[in-house]
Amino acid sequence: MALAEAGARGRLLRWPRVLLFGDSITEYSFQENGWGAYLADRLVRKCDVVNRGISGYNTRWAKLILPRLITESTSAGSIVAVTIFFGANDSALKDLNPKQHVPLEEYAANLRSMIQYLKSVDITEDRIILITPPPLQESAWEKACLAKGDKLNRCNATTGEYAQACVQVARDCGTDVLDLWTLMQRSQDFSSYLSDGLHLSTKGNSFLAAQLWSRLEKKLSALPSLLPYWRDVDHTNPEASLL
């Protein structure tokens, strides 16, 4: 059978998608042992995991981008879950990092705005997971800042205020939330979760992956594997199994 004929007979295969939207902690998540790569491996044959992490971005910029990533006419129907993972840059101290800083009230409003946009394109609350920024290990991040000629431009207490705001937005809007800032600090020494005081280490990636999977698994457990297992393909008549 010619390929064109096979394509005409068979239904177009569309993989559902999980969209990861965030800053550098999301962008780096497909690196070796990253939390995004873990999800992609767990969901292979069921979903495409799409990385839309953008290093250095805050919610002020993210809310402008989101409608360019997802539109009702082209993509929303295939999305089975979205993570929104911002706050590490928004919570930068205004006096020392005014470019990335977003005031706390605006940060919360921006998260609400993104949730409302997703709902407007029929991505319901039960498919949205907010993730708070992780805690900041100040001494390690100060070393990273000094190496670039900068002063310490974040503090953990301020990051915690943004994490609390993220949790409150999720409660108000009816979405799921992963409070990474609180969960990681249940360990006496949370610095092992971070590679440079801000970004995730291998241990931190594993921690986030496990926490996020426990939420996604419930949402995605009913999704079937796409295409039959190879032993189930009728080798004498593969068209009957595959088209």
Structure tokens at 92: 């930068």
**24, 75, 191, 201: the active-site residue:** 24
Which domains are assigned to the chain?
17-226 (3.40.50.1110)
Nearest one of 220, 217, 114 to 170, comparing CA atoms: 114
pLDDT digits (tens, 9 = 90+) for 180-228: 999 999 977 899 999 999 999 999 999 999 999 999 998 888 888 888 8
pLDDT digits (tens, 9 = 90+) for 45-85: 899 999 999 999 999 999 999 999 998 776 777 899 999 99
User: Distance between CA 9 and CA 239 in Å, rounded?
Assistant: 9
> Known catalytic residue: 24?
yes
Residue 105, classed as helix, strand or coil, is: helix
Name the region of 174 (left: φ>0; alpha: ψ -120 to 50; beta: rest): left
> Known catalytic residue: 101?
no
**75, 196, 201, 206: the active-site residue:** 196
pTM, rounded to two decimals: 0.92
Considering Cα of 199, then 205, then 210, then 213, what sign does the dihedral take? positive
